[in-house]
């Protein structure tokens, strides 16, 4: 079969199957299998097996379950409560301050965890009820959490970057460095947009009436110490060449366990829940990476 004809058939089949609602993983796997049979015959299926096995056993991909485990531990640690309390005391009097602070917290969680779910879930449970109860417009409250949570795939360490680095055979460390400025620039754009929107339309983000003394504001800053230390620990060992991204993920997972232990949330129930959640998410990620 001519190459151009096979290419046309494959891409046409891809569009048709996706339009019919066939899952992406099954579509890509099925078309790959059919294409191999047409190109190299049944013996070519050995190539499919060897490729899938090589990708799924890559040492670099070991970082994915460790970062996911780290993220799930952070979700149970209670760190988000302290971060949001700091934002509430320092930014509450500013119009839109709670939404701006929520985006900033999401960026911090992104720099610690590598996935979006931790920041989205934590801020959804903590920040959303707080903002809605204080008169914030629903669209602004939900939008700030969704936008901030999306930073998890851009600000390093990012699991998406690890997957791409493994597939494209490029340096994950360099990709992490390249994601810093765009990630935090996007965070800054979100924060500026919220501030301008709240200034123009004061009803969507009213200021909080409760006031706190300077001493009370200083006390709550202790909640920033552990998150910053964990970010420096994970990213620092990569950027200074101390550890590979895979080794840094193990360091981060251990650091997350220490954080959960410090907050007295490292219980058997939370640990098993974090492990089960890690297995479920990692199974989906590995399936997509292999396909």
244 with 112, same domain? yes
Distance CA 225, CA 227 (A): 6
> Would you say 252 and 238 are in contact if contact means Cβ atoms under 8 Å apart?
no
Q: Are residues 23 and 111 in the same domain?
A: no
Residues 31 and 101 occupy one common structural domain: no
Query: Is residue 36 located within the same domain as residue 95?
Result: no
Residues 240, 5: Cα–Cα separation, whole Å: 50
Residue from 80, 69, 66 nearest 223 by CA? 80
Domain end, chosen from 20, 38, 56, is at 56
Same domain, 49 and 70: no
Whether residue 211 sits in one domain with residue 73? yes
Q: Look at residues 56, 76, 94 and tell me which one is the last residue of a structural domain.
A: 56
What span, in angstroms and rounded, lies between the C-alpha atoms of 261 and 253? 12
The reply to whether omega before 157 is within 30° of 0 (cis) is: yes
How many domains is the chain partitioned into structurally?
2
Q: Which domain holds residue 122?
A: 60-290
Tell whether 75 and 91 lie within a shared domain. Answer: yes
Question: What is the model's pTM?
Answer: 0.70
Q: Which of 56, 80, 96 is the last residue of a domain?
A: 56
DSSP string, 142-165: HHHHHHHHGGGGTSSS-HHHHHHH
* One domain for residues 203 and 155: yes
Q: Are residues 52 and 66 located together in one domain of the fold? A: no
pLDDT in tens, the chain (291 residues): 567 777 788 888 889 988 888 888 788 888 878 877 777 777 767 776 666 666 666 666 777 788 788 877 877 777 777 888 888 888 888 888 888 988 988 888 777 776 776 677 777 777 888 888 888 899 998 999 888 888 878 888 787 888 788 777 788 878 888 888 898 899 999 999 999 999 888 888 888 887 888 888 888 888 788 888 888 888 788 777 788 777 888 888 898 888 888 888 888 888 888 888 888 877 765 544 444
Q: Are residues 22 and 81 in the same domain?
A: no
One domain, residues 213 and 234: yes
Residues 158 and 50 in one domain: no
Q: What is the pLDDT of residue 121?
A: 73
Tokens 């005391």 belong to 89
């Amino acid at each position: 079969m001519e190459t151009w004809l096979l290419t046309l058939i494959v891409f046409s089949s891809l569009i048709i199957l996706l339009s019919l609602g066939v899952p992406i993983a099954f579509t890509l796997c099925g078309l790959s299998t059919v294409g191999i049979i047409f190109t190299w015959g049944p013996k070519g299926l050995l190539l499919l097996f060897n490729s899938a096995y090589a990708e799924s056993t890559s040492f670099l991909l070991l970082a994915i379950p460790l970062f996911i485990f780290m993220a799930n531990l952070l979700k149970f640690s209670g760190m988000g409560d302290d971060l949001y309390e700091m934002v509430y005391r320092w930014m509450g009097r500013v119009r839109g301050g709670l939404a701006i602070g929520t985006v900033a917290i999401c960026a911090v969680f992104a720099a610690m965890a590598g996935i979006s779910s931790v920041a989205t879930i934590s801020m959804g449970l903590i920040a959303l009820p707080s903002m809605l109860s204080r008169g914030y417009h629903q669209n602004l409250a939900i939008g700030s959490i969704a936008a901030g949570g999306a930073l998890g795939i851009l600000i390093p360490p990012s699991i998406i970057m690890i997957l791409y680095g493994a597939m494209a055979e490029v340096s994950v460390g360099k990709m992490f460095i390249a994601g810093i400025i765009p990630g935090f620039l996007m965070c800054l754009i979100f924060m500026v947009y919220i501030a301008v929107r709240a200034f123009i339309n004061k009803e969507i983000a009213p200021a909080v009436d409760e006031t706190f003394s300077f001493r009370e504001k200083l006390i709550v800053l202790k909640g920033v110490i552990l998150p910053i230390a964990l970010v420096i620990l994970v990213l620092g060992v990569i950027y200074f060449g101390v550890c590979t991204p895979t080794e840094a993920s193990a360091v981060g997972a251990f650091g997350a366990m220490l954080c959960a232990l410090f907050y007295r949330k490292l219980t058997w129930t939370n640990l098993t829940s974090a492990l089960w959640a890690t297995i479920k998410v990692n199974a989906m990620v590995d399936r997509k990476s292999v396909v």
